[in-house]
Amino acid sequence: MPSSVDMKPMSYTLGIESTAHTFSIGLCDDEGNPLPSTSAFVRPVKGGIHPREAADHHAENCQSLIEQLFAKHSLKSEDISAIAFSQGPGLGPCLRIGASVARTISTAWEVPLIGVNHCVAHIEIGRQECDCSDPVLLYVSGGNTQIIARLEGKYRVLGETLDIGIGNMLDKFAREQGIPFPGGPVIEKNALRWITANPNSSLDDFSLPYAVQGMDLAFSGVLTAALMMVAKGAPLDAVCWSLQEHVFAACVEVAERALAHTGKSELLLGGGVACNQKLRNMSSMMAEQRDGECFVPEKKYCIDNGSMIAVLGRLRLISGNEMNIEDSKINQYMRTDSAEITWS
């Protein structure tokens, strides 16, 4: 056993996530292992998320979230060796809060600063947590729907939504039915209740437009059609079931094409909608039929979380990407393929 003199004290990378309705502070240790984050969520009572109100929420919650995180893991500021933040893509006012907090911490605690791509952070924590090496990521969240794979030194978007994110579509459908945010989990329960009570249901009776557009996806048409179906008197549970079947089949189809095109065998799910058991089952079935494998991180690492930002921040730092404050401007439209992959 090493003596206390030989033992190097553990140091941690702090990660700040603030792309949209979640403000989350997380950590990873100096081997890259994530520790659970502390998070606060904006839950709009009426309508969608308002970027400025969400930014105010993040600013109000920041200090207490950091204090809670440090208390939870018995840490002091001296234990932090680097600070990472989501630089984009996301809502400008929300991103700016996270970036300002990160710059302040970097200056006050004299630790390196690193901005990271939020979408890439989902992939890296998934790869690490699920122990897969070169997956196609099906990234399905509120604001994002992308199919991503590592090709020629970058993470490339092989397909994505042309209009709204799949989670926003589910939330909008739910809101119109009086279901509060987040609507996705309630739609999942309703759908399961319908198919359990009506196991012989046919999708022909609740047909909706298909969301696949080449390698891309589009969800507004299916949303409008589902709303009209309820308005015309179809049972809400049946429409929830049909909606899930249609939009998940579309995502899985594009993911399958991405696997075929790239020759990869691992499928990784990420984003809040990846908490859905139906999507998980459909994805696993598709991967198995191709003699591949489907991986899903724990829910706390599927949803937006600060720990994934810390994990990617550490990887970028140890592969030589420390950032000057002047380069730390946020980028609302940051593309997944904007940076070279400099880590293994």
Decide: is 15 part of the binding site for ligand ATP (CB under 6 A).
no
Q: Which is nearer to Fe ion, 89 or 106 (CB)?
A: 89
Distance CA 233, CA 184 (A): 21
Whole-number Cα distances in Å, 38 to 12, 159, 181, 209, 291: 15, 32, 20, 40, 38
Contacting Fe ion within 125-164 (CB under 5 A) = 141
Q: List the single partner that 182 binds among ligand ATP, Fe ion, none, CB under 5 to 8 Å by kind.
A: ligand ATP
Question: Could you give the string, one character per residue 76-105, with x where binding to ligand ATP holds by CB under 6 A and - elsewhere?
Answer: --------------x---------------
Question: Could you give the string, one character per residue 256-295, with x where binding to ligand ATP holds by CB under 6 A and - elsewhere?
Answer: ---------------xxx-xx-------------------
Return the range that interacts with Fe ion (CB under 5 A); candidates 23-31, 146-154, 191-199, 304-312.
304-312
Decide: is 38 part of the binding site for Fe ion (CB under 5 A).
no
Q: Which is nearer to Fe ion, 141 or 284 (CB)?
A: 141
Decide: is 141 part of the binding site for ligand ATP (CB under 6 A).
yes
Q: Which is nearer to ligand ATP, 159 or 165 (CB)?
A: 165
Using CB under 6 A as the criterion, which residues of the chain lie in contact with ligand ATP when the complex forms?
Answer: 19-22, 90, 141-144, 165, 167, 170-171, 182-185, 188, 271-273, 275-276, 303-304
Using CB under 5 A as the criterion, which residues of the chain lie in contact with Fe ion when the complex forms?
Answer: 141, 304
